[in-house]
Amino acid sequence: MGKFITAKFDSKCAQTGEQIKKKQHIYYVPGRGAFCENSKAYQDQREVKSTLDHVQANEEAYFDNFSRNNNI
């Protein structure tokens, strides 16, 4: 499983071959390499993260409302 990080040095995108500059946001997967913002891997994982964050926020809101309504 990869992570969204900030590049610490210049490199190349493993999927598109584009130049990745230092301090650029990338998606890094150990064993597979770094992916730039224009790559499909980066965009797919960004969508997954966005969806998971949205689901988490909804679950927390549901729990907060449940707790408030049931005096927990």
- Which helix (H) or strand (E) segment is 20 a member of? strand 19-20
Q: Which residues contact 16 (CB under 8 A, 6 or more apart)?
A: 36, 38, 39
Query: The domain containing residue 54 runs over which residues?
Result: 3-69
Write down the pLDDT at residue 29. Answer: 96
pTM of the model: 0.79
The answer to whether 39 and 13 are in contact (CB under 8 A) is yes
- The total of structural domains in the chain comes to 1
Q: Which two tokens stand for residue 8?
A: 């610490």
Q: Give start and end residues of each alpha helix (H) in the chain.
A: 40-69
Each residue's pLDDT expressed in tens, for the chain with a length of 72 residues: 899 999 999 999 999 999 999 999 999 999 999 999 999 999 999 999 999 999 999 999 999 999 999 988
